[in-house]
Amino acid sequence: MSRIILGPCSHLVLLGGGKFLIDIATKAINIGYIVEIITSPRHMKEDISEGISFSSEIKKINAYVMVTDNIEEERITDRLKSINKKAFFVSLGAAWIFKDDYISEVFDGKLFNLHGSRLPQNRGGGGFSWQIMMGNRFGFCLLHRIDGGIDTGEIVEYEEFIYPHICRYPVDFMDYYISKNIPFMLKIITNIFNRETSFNLISQSNYFSTYWPRLDQNHGSWVDWSLSSAYIERFICAFDDPYKGALTTINGKLVRLKKVHVNYQDGAFHPHQRGIVYRKGPGWICVALNESSLVVESIIDNKTSKSCLSLINIGDRFITPSKDLENNYSRVVYTPTGLKK
C-alpha cells in the first residue's frame, strides 16, 4: 500500500458547481483557507435549489472565481501552476475531462474528486438517480485521485453510510449526502491546513468495476409501463425533485409524473390493462400495473409546466411509444456549456 503526503495547504481550489461546493467553500474560508473556484458556463446556469441559482450564491462568498469552458485555457493554467505547491485541488462535479499530463504538470499530480458511491463498482455519472432506480441505499463519502480515467484513481479516504427510508427522491439523497460529506471534507481540509498529513492510498481493481452512464431528464426519463411495479415506482422517483419528473403520454399529451407510490391493495391486473386509470380521488389517481397499481399525485403538462391531474379521467391510459423508450438507451454527453445535442 502506497502513501501520499498532503499539505501544508493555504489554498483550496474547488472545481465544479452545486450547493455542496458553496457549502464547503464557505466553511473552508472560516478555517482560514484562501478559496478559489473554477466553474463552467453550464454550472453557472444551474439552480442549486428552487429559485436559487449557483451564479447568485457564488457571488456571496469571498472567493476568487473563474468561469471557463476550457480548463486548459492559458489564464486558468497559469493561475493553477502558480499555486500548485500550496493548494488542495478538489473536483465537485467538474465539467471537464482532465488529461494525465495536464494533471501532472498543472496540478502537481494532486487533483482529487469527491465521489458519492462505492468504487470501483459505481463509476460514472447520475449517481443519486441510479441509486434510487437500483434500490441501493448505501452511500459513500469517498475522495480519490483523478488520473485521467473515469473514477479510476487511487482512493485516499472513505466512509460508508446508509440513506434512511425517508429519502425517496434525488433531492433527499443530495441533502443527506451533503450532511455526511461536509464533516468528512472538513476533517480532511482541516488536517492538511498549514501542516503535512499522510494518507494511505487504496488502488482500485478493474476486475470489480462497473460503469453507470449519465442520465438526462429530457431524453432518458421515459416510463416503461411493461416493467415491474416496484421498478416503475423507483424509476419515477429517480426523476422527481429537483428534476421535472418522468416522461410519458396520456390522451396524446406529453406529461411528467411525480409523487408516486405502489399500491398492492387492489391486487394484480391483466397485462392489457396496464397504464389505465381505474380510480380517481381528490388529488390522486390509481393506474393499473402488472402486479399491482400506482398511485400518482402529480401530473404536469410538459408544455405548460402546469398540473393537469384534474383533467385525467377514469379509463384514460398512459402510453409511452416505443420510439421514445429507445431514447432511454441513447448516450448522454455533457460538455462544460451543457448537454451535447
CATH number of the domain bearing residue 51: 3.40.50.12230
DSSP symbol at 327: G
Report which of residues 156 and 216 the model is more confident about. 156
Domain match, 204 and 241 both: no
Where is pLDDT greater, at 208 or 279? Answer: 279
Contact 293, 286 (CB under 8 A): yes
Domain boundary among the residues 187, 212, 237 is at 212
| Higher per-residue confidence, 173 vs 338 | 173
Torsion of Cα atoms, 207 then 101 then 40 then 88, to 10°: 80
Closest CA to 107 of 150, 77, 68, 149: 77
- Choose the most confident range, by mean pLDDT, from 81-85, 217-221, 327-331: 81-85
Q: Is the pLDDT of residue 173 over 60?
A: yes
Is residue 54 located within the same domain as residue 99? yes
pLDDT band with cut points at 50, 70 and 90 for residue 121:
confident
Residue 339 lies in a domain: no
Instruction: Tell me the C-alpha distance between 341 and 339, whole Å.
Output: 6
Examine residue 220 and state whether it is found in any structural domain, yes or no: no
| Domain match, 312 and 236 both | yes
**Model confidence at 50, in pLDDT bands (50, 70, 90)?**
confident
Domain match, 238 and 270 both? yes
8 Å CB contact between 232 and 223: yes
Tell me if 338 is assigned to some domain.
no
Residue 27: predicted pLDDT: 96
CA 33/CA 198 separation, integer angstroms: 19
Residues in CB range of 195: below 8 A, 6 or more apart: 7, 8
Distance CA 107, CA 77 (A): 9
Across 48-62, 203-217, 306-320, least confident range: 203-217
List Cα–Cα distances, 231 to 132, 162, 185, in angstroms: 10, 20, 34
pLDDT above 70 covers a percentage of the chain that reads 96
Same structural domain, 25 and 113? yes
Contact 277, 315 (CB under 8 A): yes
Residue 340 pLDDT > 90, yes or no? no
Q: Please check the confidence at residue 254 and state whether its pLDDT lies above 80.
A: yes
261 and 207 inside one domain: no
Strands, E assignment, 218-263: 246-250, 253-263
pLDDT at 118: 86
Highest mean pLDDT among 12-26, 216-230, 319-333: 12-26
pLDDT reading at 341 higher than 60 = no
In degrees to the nearest 10, what's the CA dihedral of 3, 189, 149, 175? 130
Q: Which domain covers residue 113, as residue numbers?
A: 6-212
Query: Do 115 and 238 share a domain, yes or no?
Result: no
Burial class (CB in 10 A: 0-12, 13-18, 19+), 330: exposed
Q: In the predicted model, what is the mean pLDDT of residues 15-29?
A: 95
Taking all residues of the chain, what is their mean pLDDT, rounded to a whole number? 92
For residue 224, tell me if it sits in a domain.
no
Is 174 in the same domain as 277? no
Shared-domain flag, residues 205 and 246: no
Mean pLDDT highest for which of 7-21, 108-122, 141-155, 195-209? 7-21
Domain end residue (candidates: 151, 186, 212): 212
Q: Give the mean pLDDT of 155-163.
A: 96
pLDDT tens digits, residue range 68-94? 999 999 999 999 999 999 999 999 989
Residues 175 and 255 in one domain: no
Lowest mean pLDDT among 15-24, 149-158, 300-309: 149-158
Torsion, Cα 323 324 329 333, to 10 degrees, reads 120
Give CA–CA dist 240/246, Å, rounded.
Answer: 7
Mean of pLDDT values over 203-221: 83
Distance CA 82, CA 80 (A): 5
Domain boundary among 157, 179, 212: 212
107 and 245 fall within a common domain: no
CATH number where 301 lies:
3.10.25.10
Query: Does one domain contain both 21 and 136?
Result: yes
Determine, yes or no, domain membership for 219: no
- Which residues are CB-contacts of 88 (< 8 A; sequence separation ≥ 6)? 6, 7, 9, 11, 12, 13, 110, 112, 189, 192
Counted domains in the chain: 2
- If you average pLDDT over residues 253-262, what whole number do you get? 98
The pLDDT value recorded for residue 337 is 57
State pTM to two decimals: 0.90
